Chain A
Amino acid sequence: MASLAQALGSTIGRKYVMAITGLIWAGFLVSHLTANLLLLASDDGAAFNTYAYSLMSLGPLLWVAEGFLAATFLIHVYNAVKITMEKRAARTSRYQVTANAGGPSRKTIASMSMIYTGGLLFVFMILHLKGFKFGTEYTTTVDGTEMRDLYRLVVETYQDPIKVGVYLVMMVVLGLHLRHAVWSAFQSLGVSNQKYLALAEKGGYAFALLVALGFFLIPLAIFLGVGQ
């Protein structure tokens, strides 16, 4: 039996870690997107704010969840950098002519740009947290309970066409990352049953499209005043 550190530092161990942390984040995106759909409820944000309030009133439990997400994110980023360094070291003399072999190859713009789409997502995450989680603290009262008015902050933010534009571009970037990431994670985890893997491949592409499109449409709807 190899030591844990050895195992996690091997090229295969790293990919297990990448896949697990990535899938955790893909799962988080689904819950995030579902909650964001409440923004379109045409209720002046009552449902959205109430949901956010219920999360915030979890107290220490929320900190644990946030800590867990932050840790998995940083571990994902750390291994992304390591993998990128290892693959660059593995070919220092580059080809003069490159091409795609076609056929069963899965090499795409998405698969070749994971570190760049990931890097952009990293920067975006910081801005996103700064703008909302650590953004202006408006308050509102829903059914007699005073709570943070995150809805107002979101709606105000997405009146700015530049912020909407940046967000939309970033969701294309997210879609590209997920396009290769989701099926790839199952392959990295060792799913060798070809029926399941084919399912993961189709499902992964659909997931990437649906999640990116979902996130894409919400600020666009707010900007255009749909569902307000």
Chain B
Amino acid sequence: MSSINVKLRVWRQAGPDVAGKLVDYALTTDSHASFLEMLDQLNRELVNKGEDAIEFDSDCREGICGMCGLVINGVAHGPSDTTTCQLHMRSYKEGDTIAIEPWQATAFPVIKDLVVDRSSFDRIQAAGGYVSVGTGSAPDANAIPIGKAVANEAMDYAQCIGCGACVAACPNASASLFVGAKISQLALMPQGQVERKERALGMVEQMDKEGFGPCSNHGECEAVCPKSIPIKVIANMKREWLKASLT
């Protein structure tokens, strides 16, 4: 165990329609603490002093649910290879300043402090990110033959946990990587063929309606994606959308 002193600059915003600002805190924490444990510790100190705790999201704290998500020193999920919950204080040096901000996008309005409303992703998903087949009990393995390469590629795209880092990192606040991953994944699967066209058109239309920006191919999304989803899925989405629009 070794302790580490950091200067924190945390976005505090009392509610959706009020202005927020960065507030400075000094904290002595443990270099083995996870980033979220560090925030838990800060909150304990704040509550003990009778101040309002900093609101932030998390759930699994093991990098699989997509709930956590903070912009740390200007980078979504900070220096973590995956999600914010997988970041540890050993990534920082004594005396470092760490600015912590919420995802900023019109389509992800801040609810409070670092918590944003990502239900726009749910509405995009509901606009076509599914297959309408009777599920019943699990089918026999290998009942539907799918080549290994295709299965692997679909699995790569299916790893998207919908955390929204792509939107947060995009200078245009575009949701193209998220939507591209969903469309690409299902377009590869036989089960996804029936609704293939409606899916591409529906999800893109909903993405625009929610107020996400256009894609300018900056590629920041790929760099911050905890699941390393490549911008190839965006090119796939464009083809799927064009094919569906033309026929």
Using a CB–CB cutoff of 8 Å, the interface residues on chain A facing chain B are 1-2, 7, 10-16, 83, 86-87, 89-107, 111-112, 114, 180, 183-184, 187-192, 194, 197
Contact = CB atoms under 8 A, between A and B. Distances in A.
Contacts of B155: none
A117 B205 CA distance: 30
B232 A95 contact: no
Contacts of A197: 232, 235
20 contacts: A12-B214, A12-B215, A12-B242, A83-B216, A86-B213, A87-B171, A87-B172, A87-B173, A91-B106, A93-B20, A94-B104, A96-B22, A96-B99, A97-B73, A98-B74, A105-B219, A105-B223, A111-B217, A190-B236, A190-B242
B106 A99 contact: no
Interface string B184-218: 00000000000000000100110110011111111
Contact of B215 (A2, A11, A100): A11
Given A1-B245, A95-B71, A96-B99, A87 B216 contact: yes
Contacts, number: 145
A188 to B, nearest CB: 7
The SS class assigned to the B binding surface is mixed
A83 B104 CA distance: 19
Nearest to A2: B245
A184 to B, nearest CB: 4
Contact of A10 (B99, B169, B204, B222): B204
| A-B CB proximity, top 9 nearest | A90-B213, A99-B74, A101-B223, A190-B238, A87-B172, A190-B239, A192-B235, A106-B219, A11-B214
B236 A100 contact: no
Given A12-B238, A96-B101, A194-B232, A104 B222 contact: yes
B104 A95 contact: yes
A101 B216 contact: no
Nearest to B169: A101
Contacts of B67: none
Contacts of B204: 10-12
Contacts of B245: 1-2, 7, 13
Contact of A180 (B107, B169, B173, B217): B217
Contacts of A93: 20, 104, 110
B219 A192 contact: no
A86 B239 CA distance: 22
A99 B99 CA distance: 12
Nearest to B180: A192
B76 interface: yes
A16 B231 contact: no
Nearest to B232: A192
Contact of B171 (A102, A103, A107): A107
A190 B235 contact: yes
A47 to B, nearest CB: 40
Contact of A90 (B172, B201, B238): B172
A114 B216 contact: yes
Nearest to A9: B208
